[in-house]
């Protein structure tokens, strides 16, 4: 007989693992202790930040989590491939970022990732179930999640924004034309600084310099051409040779910086399809004059130049002498100005855009060649101080300023190669040559000897000699007027003037006192000006062509 009161047996669970998972506080937080829930909440936030999709895999929708993990793994693989490409072929990687199509796809991918990551954080907040947390912990968890979402998703969105700013700037500044090949192993870029005032058609270049870069090593040289050079020679392939076969020799007004305006006003028809005929004709004149092939130009609007310097955070230079910020012109024929609006002192300076512009532009109390030396120094300071850290920290401001300042016919397809060369040139000494003092006589620009110019340019751009040949090179250079020879020698300098050393050297002492040892001050210089004693000012600021970037 069966005992009806005997306890019945409960069937054992078929899957003990499934039963135990119901007590897993990560996936099933209900009933877990408060400290466990707190740890769980912060752990899920950290997992979503470091491995997007992992929180959903362990605590939520596994299908969503696996999809997000696949995307995360793909992004990591692409990041590793980009790092490898950076090491083995940096120009290729840069070209991918600067390509209009590739950069657009990258922007869209970054935006999609930013939105997807934000959605994962919102889903993670649901998985945390803040209502289960203690009132004291709840705000801390929510704030941590929001900060993590801003750090991750917000960073991707901002990166997409900066890439779009860069993409627009590249389209505005650079050409869509074909890539250029190096000439005799070098890329030669004409840098023109000028302004487009309301009384001018096009820009009249007030400064002309060629930056020549070795296509393999990045070794760089600057060749400055005075704006008042006469009889400039056009390159053999220039359409302007049909008008000026013997050079730009139409009289004293035919200075090299007038070519831009003349071609813009009168000879546009010679350059069909060319966006800026005046700039192209000036490039051809500089090519023929120097005896090298200049492949591209960069035109800097000097009225907007100060915005670019400000965007960089200023430039640091060591000035050899005081430089005036000139007042209103009172006698244009003799270059006489009213009282200076201020002075840039000798010694170490950090110049903002306004003062950097005047430092490179001022020529009062000195000749044009002191100004050229200062312009070379400003260019070197910009190249030296525009390092990757500065570029990243001030990227948006620099790019926006650049679109208002710079115009160029450089092909956007080669930006990767040129950025790579610029990075290679870091730390290398930049050589320089001026077609005028201190490398040639002051009158040289009026009646230039182009054979001498070509000889000096060839010597400047020649590969560095072996150590044993150094003495022979110095002897050869001494046979040519001007100091590509020993430092401080200036065979072509005018008598009675103090020569300016290469802007790349810092082996000079700024002149901060009078010959009697009295400190030079702004008040002293202004007093000389008020008394009409400009010769005393000239004596005290004669070394202001000396400059070195810091």
Cβ 69 vs Cβ 57: under 8 Å: yes
Rounded Cα distance between 383 and 220, Å, is 11
Buried b (16+ CB within 10 A) or exposed e, 357-368: bbbbbbbbbbeb
The predicted model scores a pTM of: 0.65
The phi and psi torsions of 74 (rounded to 5 degrees) equal: -65, -45
Banded pLDDT at 151 (limits 50, 70, 90): very high
Bridge partner residues of 331 (DSSP): 336
Query: Does residue 20 carry a pLDDT above 60?
Result: no
Cβ 414 vs Cβ 199: under 8 Å: no
Higher-pLDDT residue of 472 and 231 is 231
Banded pLDDT at 285 (limits 50, 70, 90): very high
What DSSP element (H or E) covers 91?
Answer: helix 90-98
Query: Does residue 504 carry a pLDDT above 60?
Result: no
pLDDT at 494: 36
> Which pair of tokens denotes residue 338?
């009213």
Q: What is the pLDDT of residues 378-436, one digit of tens each?
A: 877 887 776 656 666 666 666 666 555 667 777 777 777 777 787 777 777 788 888 88
Banded pLDDT at 484 (limits 50, 70, 90): very low
Mean pLDDT, range 221-239, rounded to an integer: 90
The phi and psi torsions of 115 (rounded to 5 degrees) equal: -65, -45
Other Cβ atoms closer than 10 A to 157: 18
pLDDT at 144: 94
Rounded Cα distance between 296 and 416, Å, is 16
**What share of the chain has pLDDT > 70, as a percent?**
79
pLDDT at 394: 65
Mean pLDDT, range 455-471, rounded to an integer: 70
Rounded Cα distance between 288 and 210, Å, is 13
Rounded Cα distance between 193 and 212, Å, is 17
Banded pLDDT at 465 (limits 50, 70, 90): low
| 91-105, 191-205, 285-299 — most confident range | 285-299
Higher-pLDDT residue of 97 and 147 is 147
pLDDT at 403: 59
């Amino acid at each position: 007989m069966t005992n009806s009161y005997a306890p019945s047996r409960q069937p054992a669970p078929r899957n003990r693992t499934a039963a135990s998972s119901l007590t897993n506080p990560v996936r099933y937080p209900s009933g877990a202790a408060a400290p466990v829930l707190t740890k769980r909440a912060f752990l899920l936030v950290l997992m979503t930040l470091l491995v997007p999709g992992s929180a959903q895999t362990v605590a939520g929708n596994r299908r969503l989590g696996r999809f997000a993990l696949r995307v995360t793994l793909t992004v990591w693989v692409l990041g590793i491939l980009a790092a490898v490409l950076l090491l083995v072929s940096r120009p290729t990687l840069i070209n991918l970022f600067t390509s209009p199509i590739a950069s657009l796809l990258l922007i869209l991918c970054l935006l999609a990732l930013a939105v997807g990551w934000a959605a994962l954080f919102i889903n993670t907040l649901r998985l945390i179930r803040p209502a289960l947390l203690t009132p004291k912990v709840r705000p801390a968890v929510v704030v941590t999640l929001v900060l993590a979402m801003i750090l991750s998703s917000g960073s991707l969105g901002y990166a997409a924004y900066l890439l779009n700013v860069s993409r627009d700037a590249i389209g505005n500044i650079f050409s869509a034309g074909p890539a250029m090949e190096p000439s005799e192993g070098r890329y030669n870029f004409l840098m023109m600084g000028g302004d487009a005032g309301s009384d001018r058609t096009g820009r009249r270049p007030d400064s002309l310099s060629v930056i020549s870069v070795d296509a393999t090593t990045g070794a760089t040289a600057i060749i400055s051409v005075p704006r008042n050079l006469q009889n400039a020679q056009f390159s053999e392939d220039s359409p302007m040779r049909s008008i000026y076969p013997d050079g730009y020799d139409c009289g004293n007004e035919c200075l090299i910086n007038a070519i831009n305006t003349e071609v813009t006003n009168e000879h546009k028809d010679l350059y069909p399809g060319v966006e800026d005929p005046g700039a192209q004709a000036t490039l051809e004149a500089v090519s023929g004059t120097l005896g090298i092939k200049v492949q591209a130009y960069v035109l800097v609007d000097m009225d907007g130049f100060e915005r670019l310097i400000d965007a960089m955070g200023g430039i640091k230079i060591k000035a050899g002498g005081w430089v005036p910020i000139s007042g209103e012109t009172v006698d244009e024929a003799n270059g006489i100005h009213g009282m200076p609006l201020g002075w840039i002192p000798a010694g170490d300076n950090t110049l903002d855009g306004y003062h950097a512009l005047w430092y490179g532009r001022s020529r009062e109390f000195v000749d044009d060649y002191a100004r050229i030396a200062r312009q070379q120094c400003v260019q070197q300071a910009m190249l030296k101080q525009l390092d990757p850290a500065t570029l990243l920290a001030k990227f948006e401001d620099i790019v926006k300023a650049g679109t208002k300042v710079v115009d160029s016919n450089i092909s956007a397809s080669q930006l990767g190669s040129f950025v790579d060369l610029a990075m290679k040139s870091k730390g290398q000494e930049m050589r320089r040559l001026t077609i005028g003092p201190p490398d040639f006589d002051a009158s040289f620009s009026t009646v230039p000897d182009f054979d001498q110019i070509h000889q000096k340019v060839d010597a400047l751009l020649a590969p560095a000699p072996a150590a044993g040949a150094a003495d022979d090179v110095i002897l050869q250079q001494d046979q040519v007027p001007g100091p590509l020879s020993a430092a401080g020698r200036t065979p072509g300098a005018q008598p009675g003037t103090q020569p300016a050393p290469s802007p790349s050297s810092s082996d000079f002492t700024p002149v901060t006192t009078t010959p009697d040892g009295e400190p030079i001050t702004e008040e002293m210089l202004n007093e000389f000006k008020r008394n009409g004693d400009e010769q005393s000012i000239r004596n005290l600021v004669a070394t202001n062509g000396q400059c070195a970037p810091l």
